[in-house]
Chain A
Amino acid sequence: MNPDFQAFVQTLVQGLLTGGIYALVGIGLSLIFGVMRVINFAHGDFLALGMFLTLFLFKTVHLDPYFSLLIALPLGFALGYFIQRFVLSRLGDRLSESSMLATLGLGLIVSNMLLLGFGAQPQTINVPYANNTFTLGGIQVSIALLVAGLGTLVAIVGLNLLLYRTELGRAIRATAQNPLGAELQGVNTRTIQATVFGLGVAFAAIAGVLLLPLLYAYPTVGETFTLKAFVVTVLGGLGNLPGAIVGGLFLGGVESLGSFYISNNYRDAYGLIAFLLVLLLRPEGLFGKTVKRV
């Protein structure tokens, strides 16, 4: 293979795998927005929570990070369910702005509790496979990154099955489209909303678990990912799930190729500028004329 082309493919592949993680983070945010019209400012902080849970389990009982998925998933769901059911739902029908501020507060509480509990210094775990790579047709791929990408795929397929193949999924979609109508059909929208928030938080926590072998955890790590999630969901259209997936891959690819071919200095700006342009010119997202919600 021609070395220039190989470098291009290598950069693109790695960008898309990183983009997969962005997508996983973005889907949770988009799901919550799609059903409740709330922008969850604490999203990245829930991801940080997943990272620290994995770190804690690894350091105390030497649990392999990927096994902690089995714990992070239910815990994340329960936390999200609880928060929506007993905190956010109390805001009632007030403007979505109040919910936004409440999630902002929740995020600050989570990150500062992590700070008190774990300290500010960045921490990571050293698992044997963290540095392992394999080569496929001259392209090197990190095992941990590939696992994160596959994890994203599994999570997305699982969510899709849940939404389109189960009774609960029907109820969620109904609540997203018309809460009052769903209520009239006998759907308990309060439970549905709590379930959706739980799913969103669980997705963030999973992303955190998958990221820890690759990255450092520190209490404010969530800020970066909250912003990435905003960019991803706005690119794909807020509340548009397939859009969030494409948005994530798109952002990962653009950042990767942008910093390879142009310059790394303004890497974050590429996403932010795309984000602003989409917000201003196509608030419904890059893809699809009509907004397909959930």
Chain B
Amino acid sequence: MTAIAVKRPRALSFGNLWISAGIIAVLLLYPVFFGKAMNFGVSTVLFAGFAMAWNILGGWAGQTSLGHAALLGVGAYTMTLLAIPERGPAWLHSVGIGSGAAIAPWWGILAGMVLAVLLSLVWGSLTFRLQGSYFTLSSIAVALILRLVAINEDFTGGSQGLFMPDLPTFFGLDLFDRRVEYGLAVGFVVITLIVTHIIRRSRTGYALQAVREDEDGARALGIDPARMKLIAFAISAALTALGGGLYAIYLQAFEPHTLLELPLSVQIALMAIIGGRTSLQGPVIGAVVLAVFGEVFRNLFSSANLLIYGVLILVVTLFAPGGIMGLFSRRGRRLGTAR
């Protein structure tokens, strides 16, 4: 616990790249074999992306957030509000911006990502002074306050939520076509994987690991822990908002009661931790395993769909701190127990 357990990884770990490539290949092959279960596919892949995005803060910076549903919501709401002319664009027009016409979803998602980053910077600079469990508690509180705003204010559509009647085509593709959405969701996962690979090989990545393992030790090395955590939070927030925008397109109509609840935040966090927060692709594996498990035992557990999350997180904390991926790699297992 006291010594800094960060080893400089081999310059380029082909093993890791191959695993990522393999995951992407499997995801791309899914529609070929299961073209008739695209709803399951899109939601599973999106959640894999959310888990990856969560893990940049939760795994790399070691800050367990149980408030990521709020960031997902920022992405979903911003994109949708801007896509409905009588809401976002009309308001912007009234303050002298734009023409009042609908704003395309890709710009909307970009705007959502920017807002999420701003939110995460404020949120993080206030709460990163708190250690460990205290940060987790504060993340719940912030997310729940944002949820109350979404429910009680009119500009968010209140508790009836939002409904997108139409969207422009994206390079000639119908965004409401599940195959297109699947492609975009896989693209989202690919982006999170690339970002994670980059972080892993960068100075930021080493610094983050140092902070995670021993904050005081890291400070002694001249690393500013608060700044490192903020960077991780901002990246995590931007990616989560990106996925949130895609999730909104997939749902087309959503209510705050399905999008901003605590159980959704818990679900995202547990997917990543069960898959293995100390391994690069663990969150994807966790999300896919949990989703497949839920689908297979749909008739057995359907109402108690979080039971398996509870059992697995208990098993993981007790016996396999490296998560599912930790079982396969010695390095993961060692890193896991070192924490």
Chain A residues packing against B (C-beta within 8 Å): 39, 87, 90-91, 94-102, 104-109, 111-113, 115-116, 119-120, 223, 227, 230, 234, 265-266, 268-269, 272-273, 275-276, 279-280, 283
Contacts and interface: CB of A to CB of B under 8 A. Distances in A.
Contacts of B129: 280
Given A100-B136, A276-B142, 8 more contacts: A97-B132, A105-B314, A107-B310, A112-B307, A112-B310, A116-B301, A116-B303, A280-B129
Interface string B272-294: 01000000000000000000000
Contact of A115 (B262, B304, B312, B317): B304
Nearest to A220: B263
B133 A100 contact: yes
B310 A279 contact: no
B128 to A, nearest CB: 11
B310 A105 contact: yes
A94 B64 contact: no
Interface string B124-146: 00110110111011101110110
Contacts of A272: 141, 144-145
A111 B318 CA distance: 20
Contacts of B306: 108, 111-112
Contacts of B314: 87, 102, 105-106, 109
Nearest to A230: B137
Given A95-B132, A112-B306, A113-B307, A275 B141 contact: yes
B321 interface: yes
- Chain A contact residues: helix, strand, loop or mixed: helix
A113 B304 contact: yes
Contacts of A268: 144, 148
Contacts of B91: none
Contacts of A269: 145, 148
B318 to A, nearest CB: 6
**Which of B130, B140, B141, B148 has its CB near the most chain A CB atoms (within 10 A)?**
B141
A69 B134 CA distance: 33
B119 to A, nearest CB: 14
A272 to B, nearest CB: 5
Interface in B77-112: none
A96 B133 contact: yes
Contacts of B127: 279-280
Given A97-B64, A268-B148, A105 B126 contact: no
Given A105-B317, A108-B309, A95 B339 contact: yes
Given A112-B306, A273-B145, A279-B138, A102 B317 contact: yes
A99 B132 CA distance: 12
A109 B318 contact: no
A8 to B, nearest CB: 25
Contact of B134 (A115, A273, A279): A279
B255 to A, nearest CB: 17
Contacts of A275: 137, 141
Nearest to B63: A97
A184 B304 CA distance: 45
A266 B309 contact: no
A187 B124 CA distance: 41
A106 to B, nearest CB: 7
Contact of B273 (A39, A101, A111, A273): A101
Contact of B262 (A87, A223, A234): A223
Nearest to B64: A97
A99 B141 CA distance: 20
Contact of A97 (B130, B133, B305): B133
B152 interface: yes
Nearest to A276: B141
A116 B317 contact: no
16 contacts: A90-B318, A91-B317, A95-B132, A95-B339, A96-B133, A98-B317, A100-B133, A101-B273, A102-B314, A104-B310, A108-B310, A112-B307, A112-B310, A116-B307, A275-B137, A280-B130
Contacts of B273: 101
B266 interface: yes
A266 B317 contact: no
Nearest to B262: A223
B305 to A, nearest CB: 8
Given A87-B318, A283-B134, A108 B148 contact: no
A100 B309 CA distance: 15
A98 B132 CA distance: 10
Contacts of B126: 276, 280
A279 B138 CA distance: 8
Contact of A101 (B130, B301, B317): B317
B311 interface: yes
A178 B270 CA distance: 33
A108 B274 CA distance: 14
A230 B318 CA distance: 24
